[in-house]
Structure 1
Amino acid sequence: MDPIQIPDDWDDRGLLTFEEFCALIRTPQRTVRDWRQRGIGPCWARFNGCGRLYITVAEARRFLHTTTTTTRTAPRKTGDAQ
């Protein structure tokens, strides 16, 4: 499976709808709604009281960066003197 990436030419101030974001990260909308209810995941906004949720491209990048960055440690060799 290819890693999830946001194209470099997308402006950080651009907006994605809730549906577009879910499709981008290949995650069911129900899962992302659950994240919202639990207070985890990216920050969302509504404009002028409309029912639609939006996320900025910058926030989507931040979210993907924090969820895909992992720290790995080298496995310890058996029999090493300490």
Structure 2
Amino acid sequence: MQPIQIPAEWNDSGLLTFEEFCALIRTPQRTVRDWRRRGVGPRWARFNGCGRLYITVAEARRFLRSATPTATNRRAEERPHV
């Protein structure tokens, strides 16, 4: 499976809608709504009282970095438990 990556040419101050973000990370909207309800996951914003939720590209990158296991964590997960 290919890791989820945001194209390098995307500007950090660019905006993604809730729907675009869910499609990008290949996660059902229901799951991302649950994250938001529980206060986990990325930080969202609304502009001018608009009902739409947005996320900046920089926040999406930060979230993906925090959600991606590092090589050290993967090795620890692969070790058999005694």
With structure 2 as the length reference, what TM-score do the two structures score? 0.86
User: Number of residues paired by the alignment?
Assistant: 76
Q: Which residue of 2 aligns with 1:14?
A: 14
**2:38 partner amino acid:** R
Q: Which residue of 2 aligns with 1:54?
A: 54
Structure 2: stretches of 5+ with no match in the other structure: none
Which whole-Å deviations, capped at 9, do the CAs of 1:1-38 have from their partners, x for residues lacking one? 21100000000000000000000000000000000000
Q: Which residue of 1 aligns with 2:25?
A: 25
Q: Which residue of 2 aligns with 1:65?
A: 65
Percent identity over paired residues: 78
With structure 1 as the length reference, what TM-score do the two structures score? 0.86
**2:16 partner amino acid:** L
Which whole-Å deviations, capped at 9, do the CAs of 1:15-62 have from their partners, x for residues lacking one? 000000000000000000000000000000000000000000000000
Q: Deviating runs (4+, > 4 A) in structure 1?
A: none
**2:48 partner amino acid:** N
Q: CA deviation at 1:68?
A: 0.3
CA distance in 2, matches of 1:56, 1:43: 9
